[in-house]
Amino acid sequence: MTLSQIFALAIFLVMFIVIIIGKVHRMIPALIGGALTLIIVFLVIERNPDLVVQTFSFAQLGQGHFWVPGKTIVEEGATGINWQTIIFIGGMMVMVEGLGAAGFFRWICLLVAKMVNYKVVPILVVFTILSGFLSMFIDSITVLLFLASITVELARTLKFDPVPVIIAEIFAANTGGSATMSGDPPNIIIGTALGLSFMDFVVNTGFIAWVGMVVCVLFFYFAFRKTLLASHQSAAKEVPEKYPQPKEAIKNRLLFYLVTAIFVLVIALLVTHAQTGISVALIGVIAAALTVITLARQFKHVMKGVDWRTLLFFIGLFITVAGLEQTGILKALAEYIGKVSGGQLSLVIAIILWVSAFASAIIDNIPFAATMVPVIRNLAGAMGASTLHPLAWTLALGTDIGGNATPIGASANVVGTAIADREGYPISWGRFCKYCVPSMILVVAICNILLYIRYV
């Protein structure tokens, strides 16, 4: 290994270890790792300021095809910060804050609970399905943020243990999120980097993801039904006659209708962006702009709610991964996987899927996905261009669903368990893994079979 490769790899590994330990927000090690990559690897060792310019790639923001690439989506291919991902996620965060401020999430949760007459086991089933469905269009982190809070509220009202429902919601959010490009952050990274559209994901990972969702719902129904009924029946006498009503969530009807219309418009733009020729970055800008205009009086509240630290985390992460790519480490990894598999697509799919799944169980799936995108691009370059897309779907399913196994495997897991703990319902690693590890292995195995049937 060259000196630049050694330092790039060392910086990346230390960053990953600090993120896994979790003593500080992941933004801090990512930004420090990015800064060290720029200074030590690119400037001191490589002595190449052009690498820094390429990594930030600000010039693309002033180019028309970045915002409106046309009906043929072009693969990004550029090393460095993926501004399509950053801008899209930032815009969606602003829109989601608007939806939350207008009561949209609380309304839809209470509406679904009312539809099943506030029965505990049906709530488990429909909230699991709702989590998977919403995560197809909204970041799974946001889905859990609101869904877990409403679950706790209903649990206190109906007197049942919310932990089983929250665990099922977390699993469903990551599984349902794998069905679309906008569902989970790893998919956004994969889609924007490889020039894939929303409908590309729906057609290729959508069916597989929802087969997994059916298995997920059945698994958690049989796993948690008796536990929920027992906790509910033990306090049945305390259940109040009056339940929270959906209309209570709406404080301003006009505002509610406006932000709901914005949400529907953004989903329509996402579904059709391959046909309209606009980029996901522009869709994110449209979502943010319309939300800010609609909630002008609550501008400070909305902007304060945006998770700026996560956006900075993405920037630092992309820079650190650029160090691995520019020094050739990721190309070497791709060549090793190709050598081990003998260039057979079936073996490569199995390796990518299961390595992604188990790696994402112990480390955050976002940095893992960002690291693996250049790897599968290099693999496809050696095996044939036709293998790129099957490897992309494999990576998406592996990272999204594999992240279900542990409380730290995906950002949605961290958010869901944190809300439960804050509200007085701590979820231990043992209890979480007892149910999520076997269900993750089951769903990933089904994905493996379906990927073989379709692409091998």
Helices (H), 363-428: 365-383, 388-402, 411-422
Amino acid at 311: L
Q: What is the pLDDT of residue 171?
A: 96
Let me know: does 331 contact 339? Beta carbons within 8 Å: no
Q: Is 408 helix (H, G, I), strand (E, B) or coil?
A: coil
| E strands, 97-195, in order | none
Q: What is the pLDDT of residue 75?
A: 54
To the nearest 10°, report the CA torsion of 269, 274, 275, 281: 40
Q: What is the pLDDT of residue 441?
A: 97
Structure tokens that stand for 424 in this block:
């007085």
Q: What is the pLDDT of residue 391?
A: 96
Amino acid at 98: G
Structure tokens that stand for 308 in this block:
């700026």
Q: What is the pLDDT of residue 361?
A: 87
pLDDT in tens, the chain (456 residues): 899 999 999 999 999 888 878 788 889 999 999 999 999 999 999 999 999 999 998 988 999 989 998 866 555 555 789 999 899 989 998 998 899 899 998 999 999 989 998 888 999 999 999 999 999 998 888 888 889 989 998 888 888 889 999 999 999 999 999 999 988 889 999 999 998 999 999 999 999 999 999 999 999 999 999 888 887 676 555 555 677 889 999 989 999 999 999 999 999 999 998 889 999 999 999 999 999 999 998 898 889 888 898 899 889 999 999 999 899 998 888 888 888 888 899 999 999 999 999 988 877 788 889 999 999 999 998 899 899 999 999 999 999 999 999 988 888 898 899 889 988 999 998 999 999 999 999 999 999 999 999 998
Q: What pLDDT digit, counting tens, does each position of 267-295 carry?
A: 999 999 888 999 999 999 999 999 999 99
Gap between the Cα atoms of 447 and 444, Å rounded: 5
pTM, rounded to two decimals: 0.88
Gap between the Cα atoms of 205 and 450, Å rounded: 10
